[in-house]
Amino acid sequence: VEAAGLAALFTDFDIDSDVEGRLSPGGPRPDRYGHVERTGRKRRTVEVGFAGGIARSDVEPPFSSLGQPPASEADRTGTIDPMTAVLFLSQSLAAGRGEPCSGSLPVFDGKQRYNLNLTAVGTEAIRTPGWSGEALVCDAYYEPISGYDPEDWPEPGETRHPLRLWVASFDNGAAYIPVRAHTRAGFGGVTIEAREITLG
């Protein structure tokens, strides 16, 4: 992760994520999602299971608050995790289902429940350390639902600007993979780029 502008001076955050699941005709479905987040000297492990189509989290150490209001069982039903959301977008593009970069993805990350509302922007020629060429550009607008503490609830100005994704086609459209992401959050924004892509 590369923090642009002044954000690089204040960023001391690291997160490792992994997901297990299966591919279905309707898109990828997670069975288990986990991440370990490190902020300064603090470390927290988050595990999320999706048995019965309902996301349930196990967090150590526990969150001091689950939000106001917390994500209810109804909120967590039918959700996917953040990593599966990216895979869902990629598989939808490869399968040619509907309009590219459209619809809404219901996401639960272990505490916060939000939607990613997708909008197609167009195409753009880009170059990253791991790929160059014509990429499909998608905007993902963040819509908070539940599981947020008052101090964490995004301001209207923060949700007005989308997460922009540049998605590349591989193997003649058999696979689509995000190769760049940019958000205007923070001081100057944050950009993530693919440094190496291996298919096989």
54 within domain boundaries: yes
Question: How far, in Å, CA of 94 to CA of 172, rounded?
Answer: 9
15 three-class SS: strand
200 within domain boundaries: no
Counted domains in the chain: 1
199 within domain boundaries: no
Question: How far, in Å, CA of 180 to CA of 25, rounded?
Answer: 27
Q: What is the predicted pLDDT for the residue at 52?
A: 95
Domain of residue 146: give its range.
Answer: 2-193
Q: How far is CA 154 from CA 9, 55, 71, 125, 142, in A?
A: 22, 23, 16, 32, 9
198 within domain boundaries: no
Average pLDDT, 10 consecutive residues per value, the chain (200 residues): 36 78 84 91 94 97 96 98 87 70 92 94 92 92 94 83 89 83 74 78
150 three-class SS: coil
Q: Which residues fall within 8 angstroms of residue 186, CB to CB, at 6 or more apart? A: 3, 5, 7, 10
115 within domain boundaries: yes
159 three-class SS: helix
Query: Are the C-beta atoms of residues 2 and 186 closer than 8 Å to each other?
Result: no
Q: What is the predicted pLDDT for the residue at 112?
A: 96
Phi-psi region of 88 (alpha: psi -120 to 50; beta: other; left: phi over 0): alpha
Tokens standing for residue 182: 């940019």
Q: What is the predicted pLDDT for the residue at 171?
A: 82
109 within domain boundaries: yes
Q: Which residues fall within 8 angstroms of residue 195, CB to CB, at 6 or more apart? A: 128, 129, 130
Query: Which pTM was predicted?
Result: 0.81
Which of 185, 105, 110, 106 is CA-nearest to residue 147?
110
